[in-house]
Structure 1
Amino acid sequence: MKSTLKAIAAACALAPACFATLAHAADAALVRRGAYLAKVGDCTACHTVSNGKPFAGGFKMLTPMGAIYSTNITPDPDTGIGHYSEADFARAMREGVAKDGHNLYPAMPYPSYVKTTDSDIHALYTYFMNGVAPVRQPNRESDIKWPMNMRWPLKFWNMVFLDKGVYQDKSGKDVAWNRGAYLIQGLGHCGSCHTPRGIAFQEKALDESGSAYLSGGPVDNWFASNLTGDHNVGLGRWSEADITQFLKTGANQHASAFGGMTSVINNSSQAMTDADLGAMSRYLKSLPAAGGNGRAPYSYDPKPTKVSLTRPANDAGARVYTTYCMHCHGADGRGFAPLLAPLAGNPNVLQSSSLSLINVTLNGTEDIVLDGIPAPFPMPNYASVLDDQQIADVLSFIRAGWNNGAPAVTADEVAKLRKDTHAAR
């Protein structure tokens, strides 16, 4: 072995180009690692618009104060981050401060990215500077009106709500658990959507030490699912394999992806290694129950619903269900998982908030695209087919059916979300 190494060293000494080749290979490996980490962070979801150039920005994000637009993070020197040093890049990632000193809105999940290690920051910087094509595309100003568009108050927001510091492994936890915690809390920024926010738009908890962490919350007219161990509305009935399958494919025996999670599956989690997905699943399964609906553990009971479906004339919701829903989701409510989502016992059906159910009925779902192939049977939209009362009736029927026991939906709730999502009748 030593003689082989000496021979290689001698050859390289005689041929300086050998060192350049080895350096280039190392850089290429670092770019590949950075590209993988950008997938983990799902940078595409916010910084690439439909049919737009990769990472050129312009994606519209809604906030209580008005819409903001993601920025160009290509290495273009004039409109992107081409002039950023690695220190500038790290500061933007971890502190939400741009090169020119202005504060970024916390829609950029720097409260999560702050936990990213130096080596991962370095790989990401190398990728964005060397593996991404520069695009000249000016950034778009937000729609937030003065004085609410002033950025300086964000300095005080950061002082109160930004917990600085790279993730530190927890003692007493194994390698997989700590890896999963690092990915979930850091680059994966799962809490940005799945943790409820306070009055100042701050996440109510940033890790498992807070009881609100990953207990679900409203975001962009959807309800981001509860990821804690709650039996009814969380992952209490899911195995680690179930979670891994969902992250890899967007569906399992319990539920299917919708809303922003579709983008996560398409652009991020399906590209992750089995080891990383397994680590994330390990961490999620360790979280205690939180944010539940206060009911006894769900148990399947088809009998009352079966009676209603045999006499749909007596139930407005049953009439809509038998006409539009039953051929996919079944009379038993169990669907044909993972191709067609079950409704009986589905955590999103049992959830107190009906946001996601109304939205997915009005607007359907985007295609899950696995390895470039759209998955079959996406949820169609019914905004132009069913009126507000019909949607309220069928969702109330589903939420009561098969022992789901969730609250009814009103036509006013449907009408509001139809207006908010511009779902035309």
Structure 2
Amino acid sequence: MKNTLKGFGAAVCVALPFLTQTSTAQAADAALIARGAYLAKVGDCTACHTAPKGKPFAGGLPMTTPMGKIYSTNITPDSQTGIGNYTEEDFAQALRAGVAKDGHNLYPAMPYPSYVKVNDDDTKALYAYFMNGVTPVQQANRESDIKWPMNMRWPLKFWNMVFLEKGVYQDKPGKDVAWNRGAYLVQGLGHCGSCHTPRGIAFQEKALDESGSAFVSGAPLDGWFAANLTGEHNVGLGRWNDQDLQAFLKTGANRHASAFGSMTSVINNSTQNMSDTDVAAMTTYLKSLPPAGGSGAPPYQFDPQATKVSLNRPANDAGARVYTAYCMHCHGVDGRGFAPLLAPLSGNPNVLEKDASSLINVTLNGTEDLVIGGIPAPYPMPKYAPVLNDQQIADVLTFVRAGWNNGAPAVNAAEVAKLRKSTQAAR
């Protein structure tokens, strides 16, 4: 009996370190997967790789490019149709170099020119999450609508040779921890430049960081205009303080503007889920960017007087008539709305922007719901495409862009008709 107890005790002594090591490894794996889940939210992976009413990360979302539509791919760990057979090296190659496991090049609609800056530790965490924290979905990838010969992928090898700047982000000397963390997030996983930086003739971003003046200076995007994120006073973030920008990233609205278009998805799926520390770091970096873009107009100064006179006599102005009937109850006589619930129009950077695409699009098609903490915003912008004709929308937007000292260019009916046609065809 004594020998038996001794043997049992010895077995326990041998097993305890093994069990402890196993438990520690499992905890480490769980922590790595959880970190990967957080980073996937920072990168807003769900926005592109989850189609409306589709299963998470199963792909199939259509994206419009100058050459035609492409469809996002299945990045679930399904071994037949997803990335279940990818090694960590394969995953890193696709993420940071735009090359799939079978060797074909990805279109740069996949923001690998930004993701190339993601460091090895974060890449490892993302791989752990997509392999172990995502439900496999068997769903075949859809071929693009791009016609031959433009659908050939081998020229992308040369595109990468010219435009892909290889290497993970390196901290800038002379900058503090918050600035460098913000730069890493904005330039890398956040891939802000993919939407907010104008592109050249080869679809390349004209700048990939703050060393280029075009970086995040605003750009047309699939029927919208992605806003200027530099320090420009009128159309950028020049009048926003740190609290304004942090509130926007967390809730999609502040005293200056509200999110619309694809930015709604960014708020819903990405930035509201980021830590306060990371949001503050992004704010530090973005607020450090010097002014770029804009029209060169003098700094905006609110002046309601002339607009009030016009609204008192709407019969004299076609745009004022539409405004009083459809807009004034939410956006006010003074154009200041009831921020952050109802967006202001006076001094709104999107109203002051020369490119009126976003104003036309949001008036035609409204906005998707901002959903913060699981609660939809109470007053989304309704769609007026079924209610107002092209001339009426042109009139009211011209009125808004001239009102309250906004001083932005007029909108014509042809611009509205063009966007109506393209956005309705996409639905």
TM-score of the aligned structures, taking structure 1 as reference length: 0.96
Match of residue 250 from structure 1: 252
Match of residue 308 from structure 2: 306
**Structure 1 residues 123 and 407 mapped into 2: Cα distance closer, same or farther (>3 Å)?**
same
Please point out which of 280, 295, 298 is paired with 1:296: 298
CA distance in 2, matches of 1:357, 1:234: 16
- Shift of the alpha carbon at 1:107? 0.1
CA distance in 2, matches of 1:110, 1:163: 10
> Which AA in structure 2 matches 1:118?
D
- Over the residues paired in the alignment, what is the CA RMSD in angstroms? 1.1
Match of residue 7 from structure 1: none
Match of residue 280 from structure 1: 282
- Does the alignment pair 1:100 with 2:89? no
- Shift of the alpha carbon at 1:145? 0.7
Match of residue 82 from structure 2: 80
- 1:367-406 to structure 2, matched below 5 A, reads 367-406=369-408
CA distance in 2, matches of 1:91, 1:261: 27
CA distance in 2, matches of 1:131, 1:284: 32
- Shift of the alpha carbon at 1:18? 1.9
**SS class of match (1:132):** coil
**Does the 8 Å CA contact 1:362/1:423 hold for their aligned counterparts?**
no
Q: What are the superposed Cα offsets for residues 41-95 of structure 1, whole Å, 9 maximum, x if unpaired?
A: 0000000011111100000000111100000000001100001000000000111
**SS class of match (1:62):** strand
Q: What are the superposed Cα offsets for residues 173-205 of structure 1, whole Å, 9 maximum, x if unpaired?
A: 000000000000000000000000000000000
Please point out which of 23, 44, 64 is paired with 2:66: 64
**SS class of match (1:223):** strand
**Does the 8 Å CA contact 1:12/1:19 hold for their aligned counterparts?**
no
Q: What are the superposed Cα offsets for residues 362-411 of structure 1, whole Å, 9 maximum, x if unpaired?
A: 00000000111101100000000000000000000000000000000000
CA distance in 1, matches of 2:13, 2:76: 39
Please point out which of 221, 239, 252 is paired with 2:241: 239
Please point out which of 193, 196, 199 is paired with 1:197: 199
Match of residue 7 from structure 2: none
Match of residue 169 from structure 1: 171
**SS class of match (1:44):** helix
CA distance in 1, matches of 2:27, 2:424: 50
Please point out which of 309, 333, 336 is paired with 1:334: 336
Match of residue 46 from structure 1: 48
Match of residue 209 from structure 1: 211
Match of residue 220 from structure 2: 218
CA distance in 2, matches of 1:320, 1:346: 20
For structure 1, the residue ranges without an aligned partner over 5 or more in a row are 1-9
Match of residue 4 from structure 2: none
- Does the alignment pair 1:143 with 2:140? no
Please point out which of 352, 356, 371 is paired with 2:358: 356
**Does the 8 Å CA contact 1:56/1:73 hold for their aligned counterparts?**
yes
**SS class of match (2:327):** helix
Match of residue 3 from structure 1: none
- Does the alignment pair 1:343 with 2:345? yes
> Which AA in structure 1 matches 2:374?
G
**Structure 1 residues 406 and 117 mapped into 2: Cα distance closer, same or farther (>3 Å)?**
same
Please point out which of 411, 417, 420 is paired with 2:419: 417
Q: What are the superposed Cα offsets for residues 104-150 of structure 1, whole Å, 9 maximum, x if unpaired?
A: 00000000000000000000000000000110000000001111100
Match of residue 26 from structure 2: 24
Runs of 4+ in 1 over 6 A off after TM superposition: 10-13
Percent of aligned positions that are identical: 77
**Structure 1 residues 11 and 255 mapped into 2: Cα distance closer, same or farther (>3 Å)?**
farther
**SS class of match (1:67):** strand
CA distance in 2, matches of 1:335, 1:105: 41
- Shift of the alpha carbon at 1:240? 1.1
**SS class of match (1:143):** coil
TM-score of the aligned structures, taking structure 2 as reference length: 0.96
**Does the 8 Å CA contact 1:41/1:187 hold for their aligned counterparts?**
yes
CA distance in 2, matches of 1:12, 1:237: 66
Please point out which of 90, 111, 114 is paired with 1:109: 111
> Which AA in structure 2 matches 1:377?
Y
CA distance in 2, matches of 1:284, 1:18: 45
Q: What are the superposed Cα offsets for residues 142-174 of structure 1, whole Å, 9 maximum, x if unpaired?
A: 001111100000000000000000000001100
Q: Whose radius of gyration is greater, 1 or 2?
A: 2
> Which AA in structure 1 matches 2:69?
A
CA distance in 1, matches of 2:50, 2:407: 40
**SS class of match (1:16):** helix
**Does the 8 Å CA contact 1:77/1:83 hold for their aligned counterparts?**
yes
Q: What are the superposed Cα offsets for residues 250-279 of structure 1, whole Å, 9 maximum, x if unpaired?
A: 000000000000000000000000000000
> Which AA in structure 1 matches 2:163?
F
Q: What are the superposed Cα offsets for residues 338-384 of structure 1, whole Å, 9 maximum, x if unpaired?
A: 00000000000000000000000000000000111101100000000
CA distance in 2, matches of 1:287, 1:12: 59
- Shift of the alpha carbon at 1:14? 3.1
> Which AA in structure 1 matches 2:185?
L
CA distance in 1, matches of 2:286, 2:311: 37
